[in-house]
Amino acid sequence: MSNEPSTILQTFANPNPERDYTIRMEIPEFTCLCPKTGQPDFATLHLAYIPDRLCVELKSLKLYVGSYRDVGAFHEAVTNRILGDLVAATEPRYMRLTAQFNVRGGIWTTVEAEHHGR
Amino acid sequence: MSNEPSTILQTFANPNPERDYTIRMEIPEFTCLCPKTGQPDFATLHLAYIPDRLCVELKSLKLYVGSYRDVGAFHEAVTNRILGDLVAATEPRYMRLTAQFNVRGGIWTTVEAEHHGR
Amino acid sequence: MSNEPSTILQTFANPNPERDYTIRMEIPEFTCLCPKTGQPDFATLHLAYIPDRLCVELKSLKLYVGSYRDVGAFHEAVTNRILGDLVAATEPRYMRLTAQFNVRGGIWTTVEAEHHGR
Amino acid sequence: MSNEPSTILQTFANPNPERDYTIRMEIPEFTCLCPKTGQPDFATLHLAYIPDRLCVELKSLKLYVGSYRDVGAFHEAVTNRILGDLVAATEPRYMRLTAQFNVRGGIWTTVEAEHHGR
Amino acid sequence: MSNEPSTILQTFANPNPERDYTIRMEIPEFTCLCPKTGQPDFATLHLAYIPDRLCVELKSLKLYVGSYRDVGAFHEAVTNRILGDLVAATEPRYMRLTAQFNVRGGIWTTVEAEHHGR
Amino acid sequence: MSNEPSTILQTFANPNPERDYTIRMEIPEFTCLCPKTGQPDFATLHLAYIPDRLCVELKSLKLYVGSYRDVGAFHEAVTNRILGDLVAATEPRYMRLTAQFNVRGGIWTTVEAEHHGR
Amino acid sequence: MSNEPSTILQTFANPNPERDYTIRMEIPEFTCLCPKTGQPDFATLHLAYIPDRLCVELKSLKLYVGSYRDVGAFHEAVTNRILGDLVAATEPRYMRLTAQFNVRGGIWTTVEAEHHGR
Amino acid sequence: MSNEPSTILQTFANPNPERDYTIRMEIPEFTCLCPKTGQPDFATLHLAYIPDRLCVELKSLKLYVGSYRDVGAFHEAVTNRILGDLVAATEPRYMRLTAQFNVRGGIWTTVEAEHHGR
Amino acid sequence: MSNEPSTILQTFANPNPERDYTIRMEIPEFTCLCPKTGQPDFATLHLAYIPDRLCVELKSLKLYVGSYRDVGAFHEAVTNRILGDLVAATEPRYMRLTAQFNVRGGIWTTVEAEHHGR
Amino acid sequence: MSNEPSTILQTFANPNPERDYTIRMEIPEFTCLCPKTGQPDFATLHLAYIPDRLCVELKSLKLYVGSYRDVGAFHEAVTNRILGDLVAATEPRYMRLTAQFNVRGGIWTTVEAEHHGR
């Protein structure tokens, strides 16, 4: 995996930093490639976070998610990497990413990772 | 956003202030405008609160929600603002507002904020 | 609201008072009148309680619920009143009443109150 | 109702006019005003048509639907009018429009009209 | 059953009589009394009709449905009577009424009747 | 199987014999015994009929269904027999009985039979 | 209620007593008789337990549940009695029984009791 | 595929041959082997038929379905073969078999075949 | 769009050409690019056909569907093209393709086309 | 039960061992044999674990699950054994296995066991 995707993410100032509140985003259109076979994988991403100073800008998130289209990535690694990119971009008080992958070999895999900020 | 909407909210005396109890309201007909594009946004609001001395009057809540029809508002800011207006009008023991916005750019966004009173 | 309904409720001796256990009752056929407009309101009641010495007799509960048919009652007040009547009749260790009212003015309202006994 | 909305609709050439096929569109974000009370109404539109020479362009359809935001319109009339505008713009072999309005006065109303072309 | 309810129904002119189209109304708040026991019965009504010259006015339909609140009525008879009243008031090209009654004696009963006009 | 159950069924005069209309009844509490093993079987019955001069009386139908509690009966035979009893008692213009039996041996069985009257 | 049913229950040695784990069983085919009216009652039982030395043998559980077919039993008493029989037979570390009874008098009743072992 | 499975099927005399009626069976536990890879395939079978002189005996059907456990079989061929075996065993007036196979390669396949008797 | 995709499709001989039967395939992982914006589009394809001499081979269908990953294609055109490719490859007695595209601009679009063979 | 299945399981290095995160796998295609009757049993397995140094390789998990196809196994024992094999292969920080077995004797059984690592 290249390191470029994270440069796509944009942020905006949290309009209510004095309050802990939660933003949840459901992103059903994630697709990448299986590093072994080159065949496409598909997942629905569920993001939840408590912003600190910065929020994720919606359109850049869409482009960031789309940037994995030609990237070979294993389920566990790519979920942790996306979480890492989003944490680096927004430095949230809390963030959780859940990636529900489509069935492969008769098995449905979901990977869920979270980050606890300051 | 103008400051007028909050003047629409009306209240009535909590008939059972001696007991903590919860009022939940589901409001599927919220619409405002995207500040960037001017295009309409839509959301379902879920309100839950423990009243102290005052309850929100149903019809004024409907009018208050309708007052955002021509207002430009970002998802995060408008959710926090509506919560702020409702807290200011009723001074509840607890209040939570969840705004489920319709899909934009292939992404469903939900914002959830809460207030803890005395 | 008159004070008569509570005289309808009947009880029977809890057959297992030595054990804390829960009885839940779903009652979809509650209707009363709006005190402002005189128009009918409808709700589904959800009752849950841990009996102490007494249980609510089913048929009398049905009649009690039916006794609100011609009574004018606000959502918040009537939920607390029904809980009060059921607590007075059975003196439970715990009781919770949830009233899900049908939509009015595009808004669904649910009121939930609970009582903690000895 | 003004006559302007229909000027918003744009079309493109049917890429497969040699075959009868069906295009269905679900549009959950229709809102107009009640001519009696001025209060907002909401509906989900379901469009189905067999194109002849022309197809409805997606973005212009969104703008056309949004143009009713400040228009006073009764359920029955507005459904027939939208169907009429879409028929005029695309002259389809067949078209059906179903408008599911949100509950008003405890009653859910759906209006369904269809047009049979040549 | 008295003959009064049907005088409540109001109509308005069909805005599109040149076209056959369908109006469907879901009415979940019907209640009447069991003629044998005096106990309340509850039903959801589903109305579908093709208007000719007249449409049913929504608010009067709500009041008409509410007028059965203190009326003793058997399931089969009351469904046919409501259909008859609605046919008399609107003289539709087609009308169907489906009444889904709540469970009694462990049995759910639904009655469905239709009228074919000219 | 004994011949007694059918004597339990009671009828009342169809209040609207001038019109063809449909009565549907869902009866989830049917149980009989497996003739081979003596073990209980369970089914949900769905009855639909167009009455001629007579309708099935609800309470007697409940008792009739309950009369199979100690009767040994195969799925196919008992469905046809119940239909036969109901046809004999009411002589309907049309009647259909669907019996959805609970799973046995990993297989769910449903039997559906209908009768066409005059 | 007679005391015989509990003699039907059979057990087998827990194959993994060194570990706390949970066994859940859903039993949709419970039926007994109403002690007042003699009419049948129906329920779905949900059993959950952490076995100690013994597990409930499946076929004997089916027979035990079936043994209530001709027994008169109130909802609250029979749920506690079945729990008591199962506790006596298996002496579990934990056990919970939930009995969801079918609607009677328009009211759905569920009784839930639990036992905490050593 | 061997020819043996069909010898397992047993029948019993149709108790109501004078009437056309339908028997439906849902069989969620079909498994066979992929002829290419040797890996197991899984399907839910839906059978519907109008018996003539013979009905399929339930237990033998379960055994027949289980006999494919070690048989290599393509989706299309095995569905038609099972239908053929069932037709040969029962000579029904009508029979339809629908086999819903579990996802393979991201694709869900269903095969549906029917037989029209005399 | 290039003309290459159709060369990927492989077929196998219909094992039961003497009978009309239906094969249905649900393919949730279709993605292509929007010709205007270059952004990805997503759809679930539903294929149903009655094979004549040839059936579609599953793995090649998966590869064929995947071949659109980098192809710019409008909803209406790509649905008709895929149907055309599948008809050309298998010459079926009947084939229908339904493409349910994900929401764009708040509107869900589905395109359904069918082919009638000899 | 033989001891061979556990030799099938393969692992790969956890790509993010510095973080606790969860991997969930839903496996609907488990089948083994009933040790008493020899008849097949079916279950859906739900696995959830927090990996330490090793993750379960997907394809080997599929083969491992498939290896029970001809193994006689009781519900409780086989669930604990599979958990034991997976714990032995991956030494996770936490692991839970839930096995939902298909209905037998009218009863649905689910067994859930968990392992707490270092």
Side-chain half-sphere exposure of H74, counting CA atoms within 13 A: 13
Which value, in Å, is the radius of gyration of the alpha carbons in chain H? 14
**G84 sits in which H/E element:** helix G75-90
Tens digits of residue pLDDT in B45-93: 999 999 999 999 999 999 999 999 999 999 999 999 999 999 999 999 9
Residues C94, C95, C101: CA angle, nearest 5 degrees: 160
Residues A62, A68, A69: CA angle, nearest 5 degrees: 95
Q: Is the pLDDT reported for residue E7 higher than 70? A: yes
Cβ-Cβ pairs closer than 8 A, F with H, add up to 53
CA distance I29 to A32: 12
Q: What is the pLDDT of residue I2?
A: 41
Per-residue confidence at C7, pLDDT binned at 50, 70, 90? confident
Quick: pLDDT tens for G15-53: 999 999 999 999 999 999 999 999 999 999 999 999 999
In which element (H, E) is residue A49 found? strand A40-50
Residue entry with tokens 């469009």? D47
- Residue for token pair 């793995």: I59
CB contact under 8 A, J106 and F103: yes
Distance (Å, rounded) from C-alpha G102 to C-alpha G29? 11
Task: List all residues 6 or more positions away from C9 whose beta carbon is below 8 Å from its beta carbon.
Answer: C56, C57, C60, C61, C64, C85, C86, C89, C90
Q: What is the pLDDT of residue H109?
A: 98
Is pLDDT of C53 > 60?
yes
Does the distance separating the beta carbons of C42 and E29 come in below 8 Å?
yes
Query: What residues of chain D lie within 8 A of the CB of I1, using their CB?
Result: none
- Among E107, E114, E116, the strongest candidate for a mutation testing the F interface, having the largest count of F CBs within 10 A, is E107
Question: In chain I, what residues touch A43 (CB-CB under 8 Å)?
Answer: none
Nearest residue in E to G107, CA atom: E103
Give F49-94 pLDDT, tens digit per residue.
999 999 999 999 999 999 999 999 999 999 999 999 999 999 999 9
pLDDT single digits (tens) E26-68: 999 999 999 999 999 999 999 999 999 999 999 999 999 999 9
Find chain F residues with C-beta within 8 A of J103's C-beta: 103, 106
**F contacts of J104 (beta carbons < 8 Å):** 106
- DSSP-derived 3-state class of residue G63: helix
| Residue keyed to tokens 């839509």 | B42
For every residue of E43-54, DSSP letters joined together read EEEEEEEE-SSE
Domain holding G88, by residue range, is: 5-116
What amino acid occupies position A110?
A: T
Residue I20: which residues within 8 A CB-CB, separation 6 or more? Answer: I50, I93
**Which pLDDT belongs to residue G44?**
98
In tens, the pLDDT along J60-112 reads 999 999 999 999 999 999 999 999 999 999 999 999 999 999 999 999 999 99
Say what the pLDDT of residue D110 is: 98
Residues of chain B positioned with their CB less than 8 A from the CB of D40: 29, 31, 66, 69
For the segment C6-31, the average pLDDT, to the nearest whole number, is: 95
Q: Looking at residue B6, what is its pLDDT?
A: 65
pTM (two decimals): 0.94
Q: What is the pLDDT of residue H3?
A: 43
Set A20, A32, A41, A52: catalytic member: A41
Given the residues H32, H41, H55, H85, the one annotated as active site? H41
pLDDT of residue H46: 98
pLDDT given at position F7 = 86
Query: Which of B77, B108, B113 lies closest to A26 in CB terms?
Result: B108
Strand, helix or coil for residue H66 = helix
- Which residue in the set J80, J104, J108 is minimally distant from G19, CB to CB? J80
Band of pLDDT at residue D74, cut at 50, 70 and 90: very high
> Which residue in I41, I55, I70, I85 is the catalytic one?
I41
Do chain I and F touch: 3 or more Cβ pairs under 8 angstroms? no
pLDDT per residue as tens digits for the range D7-61 = 899 999 999 999 999 999 999 999 999 999 999 999 999 999 999 999 999 999 9
Residue type, A51: P
Give how far Cα E108 sits from Cα of D40, D79, F74, Å.
37, 35, 25
Catalytically annotated residue among H20, H32, H34, H55: H34
pLDDT attached to residue D107: 96
Q: Is the model's pLDDT at J6 over the cut of 90?
A: no
- Name the residue among C105, C109, C113 with its Cβ closest to that of B21: C113
Residue I3 has pLDDT above 50, yes or no: no
Alpha-carbon distance of J1 to B40, in angstroms, equals 63
**Chain A residues close to I67, C-beta within 8 Å:** none
Chains linked to H by 3 or more Cβ pairs within 8 Å: A, F, I, J
**Whether residue F6 has pLDDT greater than 70:** no
Is A84 a residue whose pLDDT tops 70?
yes
Chain F residues inside the 8 Å CB shell of E110: 23-26
Quote the pLDDT of residue B7.
86
Q: Which among E77, E105, E112 has CB closest to F58? A: E105
Residue with tokens 């009989």: F32
Residues of chain D contacting C103 with CB distance shorter than 8 Å: 103, 106
What average pLDDT does the segment H86-110 reach?
A: 97
Residue G55 has pLDDT above 50, yes or no: yes
**Mean pLDDT, to the nearest integer, of G57-71?**
96
Q: Which of I89, I72, I78 is nearest to I6 (CA)?
A: I89
The residue with tokens 């609001």 is B45
Is residue A9 in some structural domain? Answer: no
pLDDT at position G10 over 70: yes
Q: How confident is the model at residue A1 (pLDDT cuts 50, 70, 90)?
A: very low
Question: What's the average model confidence in pLDDT over I74-100?
Answer: 97
DSSP string, C6-35: GGG--EEE-S-TTS-EEEEEEEEEEEEE-T
Q: Is the pLDDT reported for residue D3 higher than 80? A: no
Residue G2: pLDDT band (50, 70, 90) is: very low
pLDDT at H6: 66
- Token pair 């061992």 is found at J17
J20, J32, J34, J55: the active-site residue: J34
Q: Give the contacts of F115 (CB within 8 A, at least 6 positions apart).
A: F83, F87, F92, F94, F95, F96
Amino acid at position C68, single letter: Y
Q: Is the pLDDT of residue A97 over 80?
A: yes
Q: Six-digit token pair at F95?
A: 């009647």
Average pLDDT over residues A95-111: 97
Residue J50 β-bridge partners: J94
Average pLDDT, chain G: 94
The two counts, helices (H) then strands (E), for chain J are 2, 6
d(CA C84, CA B14): 16
Among F80, F107, F114, whose Cβ lies nearest the Cβ of H15? F80
Torsion of CA I57, I59, I64, I66, to 10 degrees: 160
Given an 8 Å threshold on Cβ–Cβ distance, is C76 in contact with B22?
no
How many CA atoms lie within 13 Å of G82's alpha carbon, on the beta-carbon side?
33
Give the separation between CA H34 and CA H77, rounded to whole angstroms: 12
Q: What CATH code is carried by the domain that includes residue G63?
A: 3.30.1130.10
Answer whether H59 sits within 8 Å of F109, measured CB to CB: no
Cα–Cα distance for residue pair B64/B46, rounded to 1 Å = 15
Q: Looking at CA atoms only, how far is residue G85 from chain E in angstroms?
A: 29
Q: What percent of chain H has pLDDT over 70?
A: 94
> For testing the chain D interface, which of B26, B33, B39 should be mutated: the one with the most D CBs within 10 Å?
B39
3-state helix vs strand vs coil in chain J, percent to 5? 25, 40, 35
So what's the pLDDT on residue B3?
Answer: 43
Tokens of F42: 């369970």
**H101, H108 Cβ separation under 8 angstroms:** yes
Query: What is the pLDDT averaged over residues J12-30?
Result: 97
Give the integer Cα–Cα distance in Å for C93 and C20.
Answer: 8
* Residue whose tokens read 């000719």: E52
Active site residue J41: yes
Q: What is the ipTM of this complex?
A: 0.92
* Catalytic (active-site) positions of G: 34, 41
Residue B76 belongs to some domain of the structure: yes
And the tokens for J70? 């001809």
Binary contact (I16, H105; C-beta < 8 A):
no
Of H15, H21, H61, nearest to F107 by CB-CB distance is: H61
Chain J interface mutation, best of F33, F103, F108, highest count of J Cβ atoms under 10 Å: F103
Which residues of chain F lie closer than 8 angstroms to G69, CB-CB? Answer: 40, 69
**Residue indicated by tokens 């072999």:** D93
pLDDT of residue G1: 38
Residue D6 pLDDT greater than 80, yes or no: no
Nearest to C29 among E62, E69, E102 (CB): E102
Q: Do E106 and G106 touch (CB under 8 A)?
A: no
Q: Tell me if D37 is assigned to some domain.
A: yes
The greatest distance separating any two alpha carbons of chain B, rounded to the nearest whole angstrom, comes to 48
Contact of chains B and H by CB distance (3 or more pairs under 8 angstroms): no
Q: What is the pLDDT of residues H7-36, one digit of tens each?
A: 899 999 999 999 999 999 999 999 999 999
Residue D18's contacts (CB-CB under 8 Å, 6 or more residues apart) are none
Separation of alpha carbons C117 and C52, rounded Å: 9
Q: How far is CA C58 from CA C25, C111, G114, in A?
A: 9, 23, 23
Mean pLDDT, range E83-94, rounded to an integer: 97
* Total domain count, chain B: 1
Question: What's the confidence (pLDDT) of residue D1?
Answer: 38
F52 is a catalytic site residue: no
